[in-house]
Structure 1
Amino acid sequence: MVIHPHDLIEVSNLKYLSLYEDKEWVTASLRRTPFVVVRRADPSADGCIPVGVRGQERNQREAAFLDPKGVSQLVSPYAIVKRQMWNSLPTERRQQPVLQLMDLLAEMMADWRWGPAGSAGFEIVTQYPTMKETSDLDLVIDGSEVIDYAVAERLVHKLEHLGVRIDIQLETRDGAYVLREILERRASTVVLRTSSGPKLVRNPWQ
């Protein structure tokens, strides 16, 4: 089983989840929606998966570890797009500004391997309402191969005119970059977000 940051995991039984602290909102959230998101960190010594629990409030985020035996279902951001999972959301939820964009994005980004992360990805997979009128859209793009800067710039320019703030992370084999940072600083160093922390890198694909 290959697992990457931003993947969503349905937990089969909460006994497989190790929490740093037993907070009331964490337990309530997991009972309501038993999904966790894979976070960018090294596995634990016994091979458990680093995950995060989302609460209803923006500041409610809790780090945890999940025993692989507790994985009931795994959905990547790329799988969300491949299966166009947003189409199974209730009609009224699809009226949220971010969710309204999904069909258009699928058309605009047909040449990319991409997917929604953050609250959009969470709602699409779990069908639990997390999006708001003011929500941003977090996207991940597969950057395992060298990208064409000019093509990426044209994409970012188009996305800027959609009326929703869109943040894009480029996922490479070694970690993730903020796409905008790469485009703005192509002659300088950029931050690579790795499982062991951020690093300054000169060539993203070296």
Structure 2
Amino acid sequence: MNSATSFRHAGQYEAHDLLRLRALPATDDMPPWLLDAFAQAPFAVVRRAEAPSGFVAVGFRGADRAQRYGAFAPSESVELVLPPEQLRDRPVSPDRIHLKAFAAFRALVEDAHFDTLAWGPTGSVGFELATMRRTVTETSDLDIVMRTPTRLAREHALALRERAACIEQNFNVRIDAQLETPAGGVALSEWAAGKPRVLARSIGGPSMTADPWHDDGVAHEGGR
């Protein structure tokens, strides 16, 4: 086990972790595409939702953007956990590196500015690196998550956002970078912009907060 997962306790998962499951969870409204998608890649991603005891909230993805399905998987069905940080060192297939999202991903990996944080790919790039199922297309964005359990200085966030913007321009691709904070997921661009309050997405729903690393009486926006 590498350093990216050495702190995890058994059964402890975080948003964006990819889970390999032994079987699909039993549900009454399973979409018809899911059986084939799971047969090709028996993985799901941890999502932000309250789960019953003994279960984990997960999301499944199919062949196109419209094929998304949320469910609760029994914790006992999880046989492998792949945090995004663990996917950062996985090589991109030589016949796929021409895709803009993968080219931008490799540029981020090689950029020293991003070595200061634990980060990794999510979305289609992370899913393909984890499962080897071809999910990245020519129009795919590059989604990444940065684990920031302690406060990230605005100046540091701005430097990271500026480097990401250069890579976006070089490869003509959008990079959606999210900070994983104690208050939930916060867009790097919002925190770097110096806004007095930023949107944080957590299990309890979206909320506005002045400091995602300090409980300042966040105002909930409603919904999950």
> Which residue is equivalent to 1:121?
126
Distance 1:77 1:20, change over 3 A: farther
Once the 2 structures are TM-superposed, how far is the Cα of residue 36 of structure 1 from its aligned partner?
0.4
The 4+ residue runs of structure 1 with deviation greater than 3 A are none
Listed one character per residue, the Cα deviations across residues 144-188 of structure 1 (whole Å, up to 9, x for unaligned) are 1111211221221121122321011100123111111122243x2
Q: C-alpha distance in 1, partners of 2:157/2:204?
A: 27
Listed one character per residue, the Cα deviations across residues 109-148 of structure 1 (whole Å, up to 9, x for unaligned) are 1112110001110001001000011110111001111112
TM-score after normalising by structure 2? 0.84
The counterpart of 1:7, out of the listed 5, 17, 35, is: 17
Listed one character per residue, the Cα deviations across residues 85-112 of structure 1 (whole Å, up to 9, x for unaligned) are 1x1x432122211112333212211112
SS at match of 1:56: coil
Q: CA contact under 8 A between 1:77 and 1:121: conserved in structure 2?
A: yes
Once the 2 structures are TM-superposed, how far is the Cα of residue 7 of structure 1 from its aligned partner?
0.4
Q: How does 1:49-198 map to 2 (within 5 A)?
A: 49-81=56-88, 84-85=89-90, 87=91, 89-108=92-111, 109-162=114-167, 163=171, 164-186=173-195, 188-198=196-206
Q: C-alpha distance in 1, partners of 2:105/2:206?
A: 30
Q: C-alpha distance in 1, partners of 2:28/2:83?
A: 25
Q: For 2:181, give the aligned amino acid.
A: T
Q: Say which structure is richer in helix.
A: 1
Q: For 1:160, give the aligned amino acid.
A: A
Once the 2 structures are TM-superposed, how far is the Cα of residue 20 of structure 1 from its aligned partner?
5.1
Identity %: 32
Q: What is the root-mean-square deviation in Å for CA atoms of aligned residues?
A: 1.4
Q: For 1:118, give the aligned amino acid.
A: G
User: Does 2:209 match 1:201?
Assistant: yes
Q: C-alpha distance in 2, partners of 1:28/1:69?
A: 22
Q: C-alpha distance in 2, partners of 1:43/1:127?
A: 28
Q: CA contact under 8 A between 2:182 and 2:212: conserved in structure 1?
A: no
SS at match of 1:169: strand
